[in-house]
Amino acid sequence: MARVAIVTGGTRGIGEAISLALRDLGFTVAANYAGNAEKAKAFTDATGIKAYRWDVGDHQACLDGCAQVAADFGSVDVVVNNAGVTRDGVLHKMTFDDWNEVMRINLGGCFNMAKATFPGMRDRGWGRIVNIGSINGQAGQYGQVNYAAAKSGIHGFTKALAQEGAKYGVTVNAIAPGYIDTDMVAAVPPAVLEKIVAKIPVGRLGHASEIARGVAFLCSEEAGFVTGSTLSINGGQHMY
Ligand code: CAA
């Protein structure tokens, strides 16, 4: 039977590309989304991939949503924690809500989804968790103390959980995308974005499919010896 993958934020942007890449690898994919029901329906109509609505920042909703996916398809073997939001602003203008919402969804979502699925992967002796971090969690970014902190937290979370999963066949890795041509990056003021792109050695924004390719590798059978790693896919903008 095909293995089952949940992709959070899986109906749009990078998540949509990941859902398609995992489907093409032979996984049964469940695409989670939070708000845009119209886009989710269009995604399901176009791809046949079932979409499930819940807020990854809501602990109980993750437990219930993952239980529903398991009831529909048998188990959850792969989780890609891709869902994320920005509430950019310099610290002196940032509100507590801006801070909290980004931490709740971007970092809290990883914990909630792992709590719902990691025990089953561990019991069955096979699993893949891929967390989508960010170049801005590695290098920081002006106007993003909330997002950079949450994404940096994701990289620490990944390395800690990788140690817990290793002897049970559960790998936990992160991808750190750079600036990708998604709605999230399109929301950056054009003058600011122009300066950022000028600092990307490859000379362009990345494509969602280029992130999805990395996720597909980390979820594959052949990547069983890769755990606790961060794969940076950023056009050379930050190397370390
Ligand atoms: N370094 C140093 N100074 C900077 C700066 C930088 N990178 N960016 C802006 N400044 C300075 C400006 O020059 C300006 O200085 P002066 O007042 O002396 O002229 C001052 O900061 C205020 O700048 P803004 O007018 O831009 O301030 P603002 O409050 O209107 O907006 C902001 C601030 C919201 C942070 C805006 O600059 C912005 O949106 N920046 C982009 C942030 C960004 O890159 N977000 C990434 C989103 S995509 C993503 O997150 C995906 C991913 O994982 C990569």
Per-residue model confidence as pLDDT tens for the chain (240 residues):
899 999 999 999 999 999 999 999 999 999 999 998 999 999 999 999 999 999 999 999 999 999 999 999 999 999 999 999 999 999 999 999 999 999 999 999 999 999 999 999 999 999 999 999 999 999 999 999 999 999 999 999 999 999 999 999 999 999 999 999 999 999 999 999 999 999 999 999 999 999 999 999 999 999 999 999 999 999 999 997
The domain covering 4-231 belongs, at the CATH homologous superfamily level, to NAD(P)-binding Rossmann-like Domain (3.40.50.720)
User: What count of other Cβ atoms lies within 10 Å of the Cβ of residue 166?
Assistant: 14
d(CA 153, CA 138): 10
pTM of structure: 0.96
* Residue 54, Ramachandran bin (φ over 0: left; ψ between -120 and 50: alpha; else beta): beta
Q: How far is the CA of 141 from the centre of ligand 1 (A)?
A: 8
Beta strand spans in 23-89 (E):
28-33, 50-53, 78-81
By most ligand atoms within 8 Å of CB, the mutation choice from 98, 107, 180, 188 for ligand 1 is 188
147 is catalytic: yes
Q: Which pLDDT belongs to residue 1?
A: 81
- Closest residue to atom 49 of ligand 1, CA basis: 185
Q: Which pLDDT belongs to residue 148?
A: 98
Q: Of ligand 1's atoms, which has the minimum distance to the CA of residue 147? A: 50
d(CA 48, CA 84): 24
Angle between helices 13-24 and 37-47 (to 10 degrees): 20
Q: Check if 91 has its Cβ closer than 6 Å to any atom of ligand 1.
A: no
Q: Which pLDDT belongs to residue 171?
A: 98
Q: Of ligand 1's atoms, which has the minimum distance to the CA of residue 178? A: 54
Q: Which pLDDT belongs to residue 240?
A: 77
Q: Check if 147 has its Cβ closer than 6 Å to any atom of ligand 1.
A: yes
Q: How far is the CA of 144 from the centre of ligand 1 (A)?
A: 8
Identify the CA nearest to 150 among candidates 187, 186, 100, 185. Answer: 100
Q: How far is the CA of 147 from the centre of ligand 1 (A)?
A: 13
Angle at 112 (CA atoms; ends 108, 118), nearest 5 degrees: 130
